[in-house]
């Protein structure tokens, strides 16, 4: 049995997790955000795959906590980082955590995706999106082949000063980023943002979302809001949004509607 665990905000990583699940059998697939609500987290399998996006060249906070908490009993452990520009030190960080727990990685790999940090980079052109989606498909299928054959490829822990600098600044400022989220008048109080938020950082008060500092800054709320009512710095209701074209909002739900 192969167990696949993923963290996803715009659906890029979820798509790759699903494709891996199609190609590797037998398998089960789990959302890390949902698993983090369990206590304890005990994983027993022949192989375990952990997929996550690289955030500012690092592993997302929730994924770090998941790796620290989970008791993984498997002879083969793989970590895959999805990324828009460069995974930076994200895989090395995951490798260090698991090594300290004496459950070292067997395989590490990166999967290029459509750049989804639209607050800085904006939404890519249709041609760029098409190219990156093709790259993601090819890389995901290649990862599935190598993992299925139980190939070994560990992270080389190289010194990357720029990656380390960006990561440290992101971690230091992440709790402040939440102050940049605003809600436009066209918000209809549907609550999708709260139900889709992997961190549970949003509550609906008087039919409007209120954001808290436990935000992972995955920007799921920004990209999935059906009214484009969630704003962030230069992203306004008129700004284009992005999510993986083959993933739907219903696929991303963490919490049930009240």
Cis peptide before 183 (omega within 30 of 0): no
Residue 181 has pLDDT above 80, yes or no: yes
Are 9 and 126 in a shared domain?
yes
On average, the pLDDT of the chain sits at: 92
Residue 257 has pLDDT above 70, yes or no: no
Tokens found for residue 152? 């070994």
Cis peptide before 84 (omega within 30 of 0): no
Domain residues for 96? Answer: 2-148
Are 57 and 143 in a shared domain?
yes
Cα–Cα distance measured from residue 218 to residue 197, given in angstroms and rounded to the nearest whole number: 8
Q: Are 18 and 256 within 8 A, CB to CB?
A: no
Q: How far is CA 216 from CA 53, 92, 103, 188, 236, in A?
A: 12, 20, 26, 24, 20
Q: Percent of the chain, pLDDT > 90?
A: 78
Q: Look at residue 155 and tell me if it is in a domain.
A: no
Task: List the CATH number of the domain containing 85.
Answer: 3.40.50.360
Q: What is the mean pLDDT of residues 173-177?
A: 79
Q: What is the mean pLDDT of residues 211-232?
A: 94
- pLDDT computed for residue 136 by the predictor: 98
- β partners of residue 211: 202
Task: Identify which of 16, 93, 100 has the alpha carbon closest to the alpha carbon of residue 54.
Answer: 93
pLDDT in tens, 228-243: 999 998 888 999 999 9
Neighbouring C-alpha atoms within 13 Å toward the C-beta of 2: 21
Residue 26 has pLDDT above 60, yes or no: yes
Domains contained in the chain, number: 2
CA angle 117, 119, 121 (to 5 degrees): 65
Are 25 and 144 in a shared domain?
yes
Helices 126-148 and 12-23: crossing angle in degrees, nearest 10, is 40
pLDDT in tens, 137-166: 999 999 999 999 999 987 766 556 777 777
Cα–Cα distance measured from residue 235 to residue 241, given in angstroms and rounded to the nearest whole number: 9
Residue 123 CB partners (closer than 8 Å, separation 6+): 129, 239, 240, 241, 242
Task: List the CATH number of the domain containing 237.
Answer: 3.30.70.20
Q: Are 54 and 163 within 8 A, CB to CB?
A: no
Are 124 and 222 in a shared domain?
no
């Amino acid at each position: 049995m192969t167990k696949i665990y993923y963290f996803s905000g715009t659906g890029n990583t979820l798509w790759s997790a699903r494709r891996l699940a199609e190609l590797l059998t037998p398998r089960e697939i789990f959302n890390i955000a949902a698993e983090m609500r369990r206590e304890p987290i005990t994983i027993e399998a022949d192989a375990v795959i952990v997929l996550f996006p690289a955030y500012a060249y690092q592993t997302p906070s929730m994924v770090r906590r998941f790796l620290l908490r989970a008791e993984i009993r498997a002879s083969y452990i793989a970590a895959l980082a999805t990324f828009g520009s460069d995974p930076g030190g994200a895989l090395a960080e995951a490798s260090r955590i698991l090594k300290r727990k004496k459950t070292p990685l067997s395989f590490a790999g990166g999967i290029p995706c459509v750049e989804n940090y639209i607050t800085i980079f904006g939404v890519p052109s249709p041609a760029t999106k098409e190219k990156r989606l093709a790259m993601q498909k090819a890389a995901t299928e290649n990862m599935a082949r190598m993992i299925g054959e139980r190939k070994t490829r560990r992270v080389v822990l190289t010194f990357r000063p720029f990656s380390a600098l960006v990561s440290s600044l992101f971690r230091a400022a992440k709790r402040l980023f939440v102050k940049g989220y605003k809600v436009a008048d066209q918000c209809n109080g549907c609550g999708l943002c709260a139900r889709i938020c992997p961190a549970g950082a949003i509550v609906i008060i008087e039919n409007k979302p209120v954001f808290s500092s436990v935000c992972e800054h995955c920007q799921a709320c920004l990209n999935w809001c059906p009214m484009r009512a969630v704003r962030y710095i230069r992203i306004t209701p008129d700004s284009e949004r992005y999510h993986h074209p083959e993933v739907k909002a219903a696929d991303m739900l963490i919490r049930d509607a009240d």
